Each structure stands twice: as C-alpha cells, then as structure tokens.
Amino acid sequence: NWGNGHECEWYGVGCEAGENNVVSVTYLDLNSNRLDGTIPREVGYITSLEQIHLWGNNLVGSIPSTLSQLVKLHTLYLDKNHLDGEMADTFDKLENMKHLDLSGNRLRGHIPHGLGSLTNLRDLRLSNNFLTSTFPVSLISLSNLQTLLLDSNAISGTLPSLVGEMRSLVTIRIHENDMKGKLPSFTDAERLEEAHFDGNYFTGPIPHFGSPRLRELYIGQNALTGSIPSNIGNLVKLEILDANANKLNSTIPTSISNASALQFLDLSHNKLSGDIPRGFSNLLWLHEFRLDHNRLRGRFPDWFGTMERLEIVHLNNNLLGGDLDLSLEMGDLDDLLEFAIENNDLSGVVGEAMCDLLLDVLTADCWGSPPRVDCSCCTECF
C-alpha cells in the first residue's frame, strides 16, 4: 500500500508523535519480505528514524553512506542479505546505536575503529562476512557491550588481552577466523555466558574463565597446549566444553566432574593420558562424551549404565585395556545412538543388552579369528 494515503499507514512503517505533537516516521520493519535491489540512499534522509529492520531479504549493493545522518537510530538490522562493499565510517557518529547486526552478508575490508566510539552499543553482530584485518582494539572501550559476534570471517592477528576484562560481555564469538597468539584470561569477565574461540590458530594454555554464569566454552580446533585447568570444575553452570583437536597433553582433572550441568564434553584428538576419572559418573546430564584419539589408559569405565541421557560415547583410538565390562544397565540407555570403542586393547563381549539398542554406530575390535571383542551386532569391526 506504499504511495497511497499517509506514510504512517504504509505497511512496515511506524510513526510516533514527538515535540509539539509532530508525527514522524520512527521505524521501518520490512524483514523477510523478499525485497531485492539496493537500499535507497533516500532512507538516510528520514532523520527521525530510530529503528530499521530489513533482515532476511535479498538486498544487494553497499550500505548507503547517507545512513550516517540518522543520529537518532538505535537499532539497525540488515543481516541475512547479500550486501557487499566496506563498512567505512558510516556508523561512527551514530551515538545512540545500541543494536547493530550486519551478519550474513558479503561485507569486506576491516572493521572500522570508529565503532569503539558508540558508547551505547550493546550488540555488535558482524558474523559470516568477508571481513579481514585485525581485531579493532577500540572495541574494548565499549563498556555496555554484551554481545560481540565476529565469527566466520577472515580476521587475523591476536586477541588483545584487555578483551578478557570487558565486564559487560555476555557472549563473545570469534570462531572460524585466522586469529593466533594466546587467549587472554577472562577472570574479570564476570557476566560471560558463551565463549566461542574454536577454529582459529590460538596457542598457549587454556586461559582462566571466572564467570560463574559460563554455559558454553568452545576452544577446539586450535593449537592449545599444556594441561586442562582444574578450576574448570568451578564452572557449575557449564553445559558445553569443547576442546577437541588441540595439543593438550595432561591427564584429565577429576574436578571436571564437579561441573554437574555438563551436557557435551569433547576432549578428543589431543594427547591426554592417564585414566578416565571415575567421578565422571556424576555427570548425569551428559549427552555426548567424546574422548577418542588420545592416549588414555586404564580399565574401561564400568559406570556408563547409570548415565541415562547418554547419546554418543566415543572412546576409540586410545590405550584402554583389560576386560570390556558392559553392565546390564547399558541396555537401559534408550537414547544411546553411537558407541565407539575400537583401536584399544580391550577384550570381552558386547552382549545382547547392547545389541537390543540397535545403535546407529557400534564399533569395536571385532575383526579376526578369534576377535578380541566378540560383537555380533557391531556396525563395523576393526
């Protein structure tokens, strides 16, 4: 209905009365409307705009520089389009900006340092673009920033140590970039709930995380070395710990069993040694348990049958030895889908209780005559 009647009655247009009851256009809400073409530069002339919602369309071209005139703008959602070009200094003077989402486009170039002057900014989402250069140090000054999403770009360089002191941060995602160097300590990031650093080239030890609210910690697919900090067990709300594909070379600290909310634990593809802590039997919410491709020794855990929510167990490619002790309670794990124990030094029988589960993946050292593990229902033998 655009072009007919008053603009405040048009679809997706919102108005409010301001000083002297003058009615002005304050928001555009046209998300997911299959819009194509470019964003008209004339949008930047509607200086009363406070919110623009254009996400989930098929918009192309660059972000018009005229948006820099929208000094009242506090919310801009242009995500999930096909916008390209560079961000330049379009947003540097929009001091009221609180929510800026440009993710899921084709933006390139560097992240403007001028964004660090937007002191009211709470959410900055630039994921899934082609942004390069380094992490802009100016972002550290954003004392109200709660969400920082820079993942799936080509950002390089190191992560400034002061990022770990951003007390307002709740979510930080910089995974799938080209960053290197050591991860800073996040001892002072006391509100942090989600931290995603996986898929980079970070080296050095696993840093300290001090937030009692931390629920998700992704540090896998890097080149981290050293031990797994015992204080991870203090993260009582931690649900996801993913440290796979690093170069960690310690034993597994028993203290992890104190993180009783854990649902996903992946320490696979490291150089971990020693026994699997028996205290892991206390992780009753655990769904996925991945310790494969390490150097773990000792006897096979006999306590899996008590972990009723297990869906995936991968212990293959370790040095576990002795008798394969699968309790009858294993047959009660109705949610179990995958159970992989091949390439160890185990011997024994995978019994009828396990076979009755009809798992998608059940693998063991059941090749040969006689096999080390007798398994009539394995999906693959090694």
Residue (of 49, 35, 60, 56) closest to 7 by Cα position: 49
Q: Are 62 and 78 in contact (CB under 8 A)?
A: no
The helix/strand/coil state of 48 is coil
18-39 pLDDT, tens digit per residue, is 888 889 999 999 999 999 999 9
283-331 pLDDT, tens digit per residue, is 999 999 999 999 999 999 999 999 999 999 999 999 999 999 888 889 9
117-158 pLDDT, tens digit per residue, is 999 999 999 999 999 999 999 999 999 999 999 999 999 999
The helix/strand/coil state of 55 is coil
- Average pLDDT of the segment spanning 203-208: 98
How many helices (H) and strands (E) the chain has is answered by 1, 32
The conformational region for residue 143 under phi > 0 = left, psi -120 to 50 = alpha, else beta, is: alpha
pLDDT for res 350: 96
In the chain, the percentage of residues whose pLDDT exceeds 90 is 95
**At residue 20, what are phi and psi to the nearest 5 degrees?**
60, 25
pLDDT for res 1: 64
- Average pLDDT of the segment spanning 105-110: 97
Count of Cβ atoms closer than 10 Å to residue 65 Cβ: 13
The helix/strand/coil state of 282 is helix
Count of Cβ atoms closer than 10 Å to residue 9 Cβ: 11
Per the prediction, the chain carries an average pLDDT of 96
Rounded CA-CA distance 63/257 in Å is 49
CB contact burial 25-47 (16+ within 10 A = b; e otherwise): bbbbebbeeeeeeebeeebbebe
pLDDT for res 21: 84
**Which distant-in-sequence residues (6+ apart) come within 8 Å of 39 by Cβ?**
54, 59, 61, 63, 64, 78, 83
160-177 pLDDT, tens digit per residue, is 999 999 999 999 999 999
Say yes or no to pLDDT of 183 above 80: yes
30-68 pLDDT, tens digit per residue, is 999 999 999 999 999 999 999 999 999 999 999 999 999
- Average pLDDT of the segment spanning 200-228: 98
Rounded CA-CA distance 162/194 in Å is 18
